A and B are shown apart, each in its own frame.
Chain A
Amino acid sequence: MSKIDLILTLAGLLMSLMVFSYFLDDKLLFGLAMVSLVGISAGFAVLVLVQKVFLPMAIEPLMDFPQISALLALIPLILAILLLWSYFKKSSKLSGIPLGIILGMVSALLIFGLARGTLAPQLLSLVDAFDPAKMTTEGLPNWSGIFEAFMVLAGVLAVLFAFHHRKLNKKQDPFNPSWLDSLSGFGQLFIGITFGAVFVGLFSTSLTALIAYLQTLVDFVKLWI
């Protein structure tokens, strides 16, 4: 183990103990660990952005002035100055220009990407599930494929109805549930399964990280024993 690795391991051990001190109702060491993490990450990000973004994309093109590339580089630079101006004068309307451009562009991209990249392919996939070629195998019905197709269709409809019915559920009589309520409950079952799977994945990832760091500490201690 090199000296750098040793120093980094000791620093990691110290930081881990500071984070674990939160269980002992300690705020100071836990706060110091969090501040250190955020500060180091932000400082590193600033260095990367200055080196990888501002200098090559905003400053260096200006050296070629009055070329077109330099003029084009003025546009993001002016927008950046306007956005930075809002930090000194919050009531300035000029700072709304870059924000408006960014938010408008992002919103348009999200809507377009959601329809083009998620909604349309998922609907086509649902329709494709009922392809006769998939529902038959050598002239015989593929029951598993049929069941899967109908379950996917039922799951999609139930989940969509569950979200729609959730808004209208307050206006209905809670003591007289209708078949719509049952369908909404069926959709909530699919949603519950999805969130359960996400929780399992989250726990699995966290547990893996915990085991890995404990393994590292154990290995570090074994080196000195």
Chain B
Amino acid sequence: MSDPSDELRICPHCGQLNSVYTLVCINCGQELDDIFEIEGLEDSPTESLDEQSLETVLNALDENPLLSPEEKNVENSGEDSEAESKEPSDEEEPLPSWLNKIRQRAKEEDPAGDLAKAGKAADEKREQVDEAFDQVLRRIRESEQSKAGRTRKPESNLVDENGDPEWLRRIRELHPNQEESLEDSSAASDDEWTDEELEELFRKELGLPKPDELPEEAPLENFEILDEPKQAEEEIAPDDFHNIPDEDIPSPWTLTTNEENETPDDTQETASSQMEIENGEAIAEAEKAEDDERLAEAVEHHVIDDFELDDAEASPLADNEESDATNLPEVEEAERRDYEEEQSENEDVSQPLITEFEKEEIDESPQPTEDITPDLILLRDQRDRARILNEIISQEGRRSIPLPHENKNNHRLGSIILSLLLILGILATILFMPNSSPAFPNSPTAIAFAENLETLSEGQSVLLVLDYQAGSRNEIEPLLEKLLESLETKNISLRVVTANPENLWLSAKLFAGSPSEIEFIPGGILGYLSLAVAEKPDWVALPMDKAIKTDPDIFAGLSHLILVSDSSEFVRSWMEQISPFQLRLNTSVITTSVSAPMLSPYFASGQIKGYVAGLSDAKTLGVEKDLLVNQRAFQVGTLLMILVLLLGIIMKLDEDSRSNAERSTE
């Protein structure tokens, strides 16, 4: 609503009030030509007012008592009270009767003006108390503003559209109710705290009833308040809230009551002592009020700090303590100790407010990042990844898996020692021990081989298939040589074939004086198969016939088949591929000790009539000891190898037990 004075203007000629939009005065018809006055530009007074009217206005201003300086009035009231009382009385309204009575009595009882001075001193003390109180309030506001500014600072780069960090959103999801209170507090902290808000907050935290809920029997200006200052202080209205006791307020009622109890002689002394007492009490009360404000602030911050990650570790009370310790004078040290004790009690009381879950939330929250550049802030998983990457980089170039040839020198030295030991043992046996006949027992397979050989009669044909290497000739050829002697003795027709080119020259010496010749069968086992399966056509000669100079049908007229091989695989292939097509043949085998175990199933199934394997079966065929290797050397070599094997087993078990112990300790 606009002020009416703004819409009206006074006619400079007749003083008539006119509308601001009228061009001519409605009374005198004077033109109001300043309608086109530009806002902000003032016309010169000489253009609107003449000299006479100007003098009249200046005189009126000089004579106006409201525009006189206040100090002048104060001085006049102290020194020349009568003149002061008379001058305004001429121009102002008459004073009330009760005021005149009071002034009259004051003149009578205190002609020197001591009481007035005491009142002035009380006013000064009140101003000091007010100033201290304002200072306390100013600190509280500043701390609240700083806290509010800190809470609004983003803690990390992960903020949503509202500017809230991620950790705060998580906490809000977990504490929706507390989040509302936080929003309220933060919203309140956005603006400057007013006295009403601070009082309301203080009352809320202390659980005091609202002023509207105060009982009527506790009026503000009741005399009983003086007897119970604390209760009155708690029940005081928010608008009239202060920390100054009511007896310190220089109200006319208190002055009157004091004046009634004191004598005129003791007035000055009482006033001075009262001033001192009031001064001390005022400071104490101010400090108490300040402590209460701190308590309220502490309670408030405890609730807020549950959501503030920066203040999770550092209590806000400590900040207040430090700031207060620096600001308070030394005289207040005792008061500060009391405050600390009270604060510790307060902490003990408010500690259960923080639950364990909230502690975990606080612990998981990011650390304060005020001094860290936001670009350098790492989340926990990013930090873990960086740590793992760091470990990987630090382990780069280090060997985590032991190489098999790590102790190559030691193993090589051991191998050399064992080999030399074996060779020297065998050489010593050969040189110094006489050769002896083998003492091995006769094996069933060798006995079956000998029995099968005994069934051969004169005129029968035997096919001898050679397939052995030069390395096993010393184990096979003594047996083969004894077999050839037996077959030659029985006048058995012998045909010798081989698919191994090596046997052409390896076995040639054995058949040097024999009428039989070693024939080469191309194609290995497939060549034997082709000869065992295929029937020779009458109309054409097969390529295989060209390869075999004699009769290509090598199986024709045979009664026995003797395989001489150091390979169990060759024997097995023969049993699988050739024997099914030549079931009528009695198959025997001369082989080495290596192949003997693999031929046992074929002997058990009757596919092989018998076999002799190495030197162990040489005795069954009656092989002379001169044709065999030194049996003593064989026994020594076997013994040495058994020792080596046992030592290897023991060392392996010891190494395994150590490794298991290390694993168990790890």
Chain A residue contacts of B629, Cβ below 8 A = 208, 211-212, 215
Closest beta carbon of chain B to A134's beta carbon, Å: 12
- Expressed in whole angstroms, the minimum distance between the Cβ of A37 and any Cβ of chain B is 10
- Interface residue A136 (Cβ < 8 Å from any Cβ of B): no
- Measured between beta carbons, the chain B residues less than 8 angstroms from A114 are 576
Pair B580/A113 contact, Cβ less than 8 Å = yes
Q: In the complex the two chains form, what is the Cα distance from A121 to B608 in whole Å?
A: 11
Contacts of A60 in B (CB 8 A): 546
Query: Is B634 in contact with chain A by the CB < 8 A criterion?
Result: yes
Contact mask for chain A residues 32-53; partner B; CB cutoff 8 A; 1 contact, 0 none: 0000000001001100110011
Inter-subunit contact A211/B426 (CB<8 Å): yes
Q: Is the CB of B597 within 8 A of A198?
A: yes
Residue contact B472 to A23, C-beta cutoff 8 Å? no
- Contacts of A28 on B, CB cut-off 8 Å? none
Q: Are B604 and A214 in contact (CB under 8 A)?
A: no
- A209 touching B501, Cβ below 8 Å: no
Task: Establish whether residues B543 and A218, one from each chain, have CB atoms under 8 Å apart when the complex forms.
Answer: no
Q: Which stretch from B118-126, B411-419, B452-460 is at the chain A interface?
A: B411-419
Chain B residues, CB < 8 A from A124: 605
Chain A residues, CB < 8 A from B630: 211, 215
Query: Is B641 an interface position by the 8 A CB rule?
Result: yes
Query: Which residue in chain B gives the minimum CB-CB distance to A57?
Result: B543
Quick check: which of B69-77, B231-239, B301-309, B588-596 contacts chain A, the rest being far away?
Answer: B588-596
B610 within 8 A of A: no
> Given the interface contacts A52-B522, A125-B605, does A203 sit within 8 Å of B596 by beta carbon?
no
The verdict on A91 contacting chain B, using a C-beta distance below 8 Å, is no
**Is A162 interfacial (CB 8 A cutoff)?**
no
Does B598 reach chain A (CB closer than 8 Å)? Answer: yes
Selected contact of A117 from candidates B412, B422, B576, B592, CB within 8 Å: B576
B579 at the interface (CB under 8 A from A): yes
| B137 within 8 Å of A (CB atoms) | no
Q: What B residues does A213 contact at CB under 8 A?
A: 474
Tell me the smallest distance from the CB of A49 to a CB of chain B, in Å.
Answer: 7
User: Among the listed A197, A203, A212, which residue makes an inter-chain contact with B597, where contact means beta carbons less than 8 Å apart?
Assistant: A197
Is B575 within 8 A of A210, CB to CB? Answer: no
Partner of A44, one of B475, B501, B604, B638: B501
In the complex, the answer to whether B520 meets A210 with C-beta atoms within 8 Å is no
- B661 to chain A: which residues have CB within 8 Å? none
Inter-chain contact A57/B415, CB cutoff 8 Å: no
Is A211 in contact with B430, judged by CB distance below 8 angstroms?
yes
Chain B residues whose C-beta falls within 8 Å of the C-beta of A56 in the assembled complex: 543, 546-547
Number of A residues near B (Cβ < 8 Å) is 53
Q: In this complex, what residue of B is CB-closest to A45?
A: B501
A116 to B581, CA, bound (A): 10
Contact status A52-B547, CB under 8 Å: yes
A-chain residues with CB within 8 Å of residue B595 when the two chains form the complex: 201
Residues of B within 8 A of A106 (CB): 526
Of the candidates A53, A61, A200, A205, the one whose C-beta lies within 8 Å of that of B472 is: A205
How many angstroms from the CA of A102 to the CA of B419 in the assembled complex? Answer: 44
Complex interface: chain A residues within 8 A of B633 (CB): 211, 214-215
Q: Closest CB-CB distance, B624 to chain A, in whole Å?
A: 15
B634 and A208: CB pair below 8 A? yes
| Contact mask for chain A residues 100-136; partner B; CB cutoff 8 A; 1 contact, 0 none | 0000011001100110111001101100000000000
Our pick among A44, A76, A117, A211 for the contact of B575 (Cβ within 8 Å) is A117
Cα–Cα distance between A207 and B593 once the two chains are bound (Å) = 11
Whether a CB of chain A sits under 8 angstroms from the CB of B539 is yes
Q: Is the CB of A207 within 8 A of B546?
A: no
A window 11-25: CB within 8 A of B:
23-25
The reply to whether A209 and B474 form a contact with Cβ atoms under 8 Å apart is yes
> Taking CB as reference atom, which chain A residue is nearest B579?
A117
Tell me if B502 counts as interface (CB < 8 A to partner A).
yes
Which residues of the partner chain A approach B412 to less than 8 Å between Cβ atoms?
A: 23, 25
Are the C-beta atoms of A73 and B634 separated by less than 8 Å? no
Q: Which of B420, B426, B539, B546 contacts A210 (CB 8 A)?
A: B426
Q: Decide: A113 and B577 in contact? CB cutoff 8 A.
A: yes
Question: Which residues on the B side are within 8 Å of A210 (C-beta)?
Answer: 422-423, 426, 637
Contact between B543 and A76, CB atoms less than 8 A apart: yes
Q: What chain A residues lie within 8 Å of B579 (beta carbons)?
A: 117
A205 touches B614 (CB 8 A): yes
Does the CB pair B606–A72 fall under 8 Å?
A: no
A158 CB within 8 Å of chain B: no
A/B pair count, beta carbons within 8 Å: 157
Q: How far is the CB of A60 from chain B (nearest CB, A)?
A: 6
Given known A-B contacts A121-B607, A201-B597, A215-B629, A57 and B430 have beta carbons under 8 A apart: no
B490-504 interface code vs A (CB 8 A; 1 in, 0 out)? 000000000001101
Q: Is B572's beta carbon under 8 Å from chain A?
A: yes
Collect the chain B residues with CB atoms within 8 Å of residue A57's CB.
522, 543-544, 546-547
Question: Is the beta-carbon distance between B572 and A208 smaller than 8 angstroms?
Answer: no
Give Cα A197 to B601, complex, Å: 14
Q: Is A69 close to B, CB under 8 A?
A: yes
Complex Cα gap A45–B502 (Å): 8
- Interface status of B542 (Cβ within 8 A of chain A): yes
Q: Does B427 contact A (CB under 8 A)?
A: yes
Known: A44-B501, A215-B629. A116 touches B576 (CB 8 A): yes
With an 8 A cutoff between CB atoms, is A169 at the interface?
A: no
Tell me the bound Cα distance from A146 to B457 in angstroms.
36
Q: Are A207 and B597 in contact (CB under 8 A)?
A: no
Instruction: For residue A74, give the distance in angstroms from its CB to the closest CB of chain B.
Output: 10
Q: How many Å lie between the Cα of A198 and that of B594 in the bound state? A: 5
Residue in B472, B541, B546, B602 whose beta carbon sits within 8 Å of that of A209 in the complex: B472
B520 touches A48 (CB 8 A): yes
The answer to the question of B615 belonging to the interface, with a C-beta cut-off of 8 Å to chain A, is yes
Contact B472 A118 (CB under 8 A): no
Which residues of A sit under 8 angstroms from B577, Cβ to Cβ? 109, 113, 117
B540 interface hit (Cβ, 8 Å): yes
Contact yes or no, A68 B580, CB < 8 A: no
B556 at the interface (CB under 8 A from A): no
State whether A207 touches B547 (Cβ < 8 A).
no
**Closest A residue by C-beta to B580:** A116
In B362-420, which residues have CB < 8 Å from any A CB?
Answer: 412, 415-416, 419-420
User: Given contacts A68-B540, A116-B580, A212-B629, is CB(A205)–CB(B594) below 8 Å?
Assistant: yes
Which residues does chain B contribute within 8 Å of A49, judged by CB atoms?
Answer: 501, 522
A185-200 residues at the B interface, CB under 8 angstroms: 194, 197-198, 200
Q: In the bound complex, do residue B430 and residue A209 qualify as a contact, i.e. CB atoms below 8 Å apart? A: no
- B431 proximal to A (CB < 8 A): yes
Q: Which residues of A contact B615 (CB under 8 A)?
A: 204, 208
Partner of B475 from the list A52, A61, A205 (CB cut-off 8 Å) is: A205
**Residue-by-residue, is B188-208 near A (CB-CB < 8 Å gives 1, otherwise 0)?**
000000000000000000000
**Which residue from A44, A52, A58, A214 sits with its C-beta under 8 Å from B423?**
A214
CB of A201 within 8 A of CB of B543, answer no
CB distance from B84 to the nearest CB of A (A): 110
The answer on a CB contact under 8 Å between A202 and B594 is yes
- Roughly how many angstroms separate A61 CA and B541 CA in the complex, as a whole number? 9
**Pick the contact of A72 from B415, B426, B431, B543 — CB < 8 Å?**
B543
Partner of A23, one of B415, B544, B597, B607: B415
Name 26 interchain pairs, CB-CB below 8 A, sorted by A: A25-B412, A49-B522, A53-B547, A60-B546, A109-B529, A113-B577, A113-B580, A114-B576, A117-B575, A117-B576, A117-B577, A117-B579, A118-B575, A198-B598, A201-B592, A201-B613, A204-B614, A204-B616, A207-B637, A207-B641, A208-B614, A208-B615, A208-B629, A209-B472, A214-B633, A218-B431
**Chain A residues proximal to chain B, CB less than 8 Å:** 23-25, 41, 44-45, 48-49, 52-53, 56-58, 60-61, 68-69, 72-73, 76, 105-106, 109-110, 113-114, 116-118, 121-122, 124-125, 152, 194, 197-198, 200-205, 207-215, 218
Q: Which 9 A-B pairs have the closest CB atoms?
A: A117-B576, A113-B576, A212-B474, A125-B605, A197-B597, A201-B594, A201-B593, A48-B501, A204-B593
